[in-house]
Chains A and B, each alone.
Chain A
């Protein structure tokens, strides 16, 4: 709720409509008592109906059943709402923003802050609108003297024990309490007693607590239990001794814990890494997306000058709702460390020497020309954007080689059918499922936001979750069916008890982890999954429950563009290896005499073996297209300038191609996108999810080719999965403190 909106609401109401002579009685204005209260009785005839207002924040009503519509009157203006909405929601539809602290649309209703009091005709006292269901014909008044006085009183009580430390509080400037006390509070206080103080709690390396500031709205407690699915936070004590805490001395170990910073309406929970770094009005916000996993959460990067200072979530109902994982929120300090900023060549003594772009590109082009085409290999990293992968593929093809792939896309993965590697139900669509079968995937570490959806579904509908894979951590009820392909075969052959659950399900969903792409027997596994989906009717015209959960941001676009290795052996015979941000390639396999070029933004694993380094821009510094695991194409936008002498990825390859004499035919992002359009047209439809058209494919029979080695876990450390997060100090602290040993 913006201050401006609140302020204008305060300006508007009845004070101006009062008879002038009444006001003149109040020469000295006593605290709290507002002149309107006595003027209330003086208001004679009902006022004409005010013109309708636009709903708050584009609030929309969706009528499931037209008979369920009821009509209520908000400030005299009639609105139609579905049955079961609360008074507060009705007011929102009518375009009246009710002040609130404890109410949050994605959490259960607590009704304990009392800030949302409104007057309802025929009710003796003001009612808490967030907890009161709207009844047909209710006459709600949000602007009466009674309601205003009630708010003022609540405000006074809240401020009674709230410290006056706004100047040193990190929430200052974006604090609900600050805004609302400006709008609805009294202009002076009457308390002379000491304020109470509360001992700060240690919630770990991410969330800083100043518990004296807490107003006991319990949003954080409800968030932890309902959305994060951990019972870590709770309310201790009674009355004025009430405190938020973790019951016992304990850190908050949820991968979504950072979101309590956003939902805390005051400065009680703030970001530890961001503490005292900046004021929010100094920051420039850039709306972009996250690349640390394949979900593509929508984020806003707040930067000041060349520095990224914090990352906040952006609302996207289809992908991340309004939450982001801790990794997304706090890895940004990795963008400042270990950066490559000059082109470098490794000298004879094994040390890197900074050179000019001209020299570096000339050397690379020279070596590339001396290598036989089939010995050239190009590997894109997990953070690459579609544009640079397209350029890399085109460049290598022009050099005569087709050994180009993106890490994580196992050998000869079937990239022809999009439905074979996408999350076909969509992330939001998972909420419709009633039985989940997780095959070799640990969504909690692989894609925290997808896991939050499953958790939400399980919590709302008691959906069943079956899991095949190594022992893993879940924050919802699940059945651990087995650890390897053996169980999968049993289910496929209908011999497993879980089969009945699958068969009885209305919308069964199977989620296969992309870690299985790396297995030799992946075709057999996928055909087993296909058998299951056939007999459990997972894929129907109205419901597609066959899902692959990809691991990294580049993967979906890479598969769309056909960056798949043709044979697993090409790297062992390579003489020229071009790593475009690829750090997870097994460097031991590369022959010792091979020439390795590393193009990327961080001095990570790939650099140890590189002969030439070409510095590139990180995702926060460039415009790039990414496709997430459900096939939604989104774009990053540059928030900060590039460091040092770095260049955008696609530009480096375009320049190199010219130096090598095989000039690529595009000079701008627009041109490269039209090239992409000819290969994968869905990649140019920004912010749209292009569902895969499903067609049955013929896969070999599963049972004999499957090896019985158990599924492995793909991600060892949730907090460190790519070159940026590995360079981050905060992520290192998290892995040291929060990972369960």
Chain B
């Protein structure tokens, strides 16, 4: 993994929340800029569009919107940059991208009409897994 480490430099810690926020936007821009290449190298044209991937990136970032500690944000940013580096360097394979960012974690068979109100915990668990 030497080549990924080379490309990721550990930046100095953000001094304030403001600076950290700024860095997040910088990262998002960088990610958006690399998306066309990503589409190209992983041959994603028939399964996703650039705008879909862009909103996936945005939602991955929004998942952590509750984080206010600049140090934690820096850490998350570092991980995100590493991931982006891996993707852009083609260190992953097509099914990784599809599995993680196109299909999402719900799996291929999407449960439509999720009406989980009023069912027991047993049934909820049953739908998820056997264990």
Chain A residues within CB distance 8 Å of chain B: 342, 354-358, 617, 642, 646-648, 651, 654-655, 658-659, 663, 667
Contacts and interface: CB of A to CB of B under 8 A. Distances in A.
Closest 8 CB pairs between A and B? A655-B126, A667-B122, A647-B130, A356-B111, A642-B130, A356-B109, A658-B123, A655-B123
B111 A658 contact: no
A358 B122 contact: no
Interface string B76-104: 00000000000000000000000000000
A356 B122 CA distance: 17
A654 B122 contact: yes
Interface size class of B (residues with CB under 8 A): 10 to 19
Nearest to B113: A358
B127 A357 contact: yes
Given A658-B119, A658-B123, 13 more contacts: A354-B109, A356-B127, A357-B126, A647-B126, A647-B130, A651-B130, A655-B123, A655-B126, A658-B120, A659-B123, A663-B120, A667-B120, A667-B122
Interface in B109-124: 109, 111, 119-123
B62 to A, nearest CB: 27
Contacts of B109: 342, 354-356
B120 A358 contact: no
A651 B111 contact: no
Contacts of A357: 126-127
Interface of B: 109, 111, 119-123, 126-127, 130
Given A355-B109, A356-B109, A617 B119 contact: no
Nearest to B126: A655
Contacts of A654: 122, 126
A667 B122 CA distance: 6
Contacts of B111: 356, 358
Contacts of A355: 109
Contacts of A354: 109
A655 B122 contact: yes
A59 to B, nearest CB: 41
A664 to B, nearest CB: 10
A617 B123 contact: no
Nearest to B120: A658
A126 B97 CA distance: 73
A655 B122 CA distance: 8
A358 B106 CA distance: 14
The winner among B119, B120, B130 for most chain A CB atoms within 10 A is B130
A655 B126 CA distance: 7
A651 B126 contact: yes
Nearest to A357: B127
Nearest to A616: B130
A240 to B, nearest CB: 58
B122 A658 contact: yes
Contacts of B130: 617, 642, 646-648, 651
The winner among A358, A646, A648 for most chain B CB atoms within 10 A is A358
Contacts of A646: 130
Contacts of A667: 120-122
Contacts of B122: 654-655, 658, 667
A646 B129 CA distance: 9
A648 B125 CA distance: 13
A388 to B, nearest CB: 14
25 contacts: A354-B109, A355-B109, A356-B109, A356-B127, A357-B126, A358-B127, A617-B130, A642-B130, A646-B130, A647-B130, A648-B130, A651-B130, A654-B122, A654-B126, A655-B122, A655-B123, A655-B126, A655-B127, A658-B120, A658-B122, A658-B123, A659-B123, A663-B120, A667-B120, A667-B121
B54 to A, nearest CB: 29
A654 B109 CA distance: 23
Contacts of B123: 655, 658-659
A667 B125 CA distance: 11
Contacts of A342: 109
Contacts of A647: 126, 130
A138 to B, nearest CB: 59
Contacts of A356: 109, 111, 127
A208 to B, nearest CB: 36
A216 B123 CA distance: 60
A536 B51 CA distance: 88
A354 B108 CA distance: 11
A659 B122 CA distance: 12
Nearest to B110: A356
A358 B111 CA distance: 8
B55 to A, nearest CB: 25
A357 B112 CA distance: 11
Contacts of A358: 111, 127
Contacts of A663: 120
A357 B109 CA distance: 10
A659 B116 CA distance: 11
B50 to A, nearest CB: 30
A642 B130 CA distance: 8
Nearest to A646: B130
A663 B119 CA distance: 10
Nearest to B128: A357
Nearest to A615: B130
A355 B127 CA distance: 12
A357 B122 CA distance: 14
Contacts of B126: 357, 647, 651, 654-655
B90 to A, nearest CB: 29
Nearest to A648: B130
A356 B121 CA distance: 18
Contacts of A655: 122-123, 126-127
A513 to B, nearest CB: 37
Nearest to B116: A358
B31 to A, nearest CB: 33
A12 B122 CA distance: 57
A667 B126 CA distance: 11
Nearest to A657: B123
A667 B127 CA distance: 14
A266 B126 CA distance: 48
Nearest to A621: B130
A663 B111 CA distance: 22
Nearest to A647: B130
Contacts of B119: 658
A356 B115 CA distance: 14
A517 B130 CA distance: 36
Contacts of A651: 126, 130
B120 to A, nearest CB: 6
A647 B126 CA distance: 8
A355 B121 CA distance: 22
A357 B126 CA distance: 9
Contacts of B127: 356-358, 655
The winner among A617, A646, A654 for most chain B CB atoms within 10 A is A654
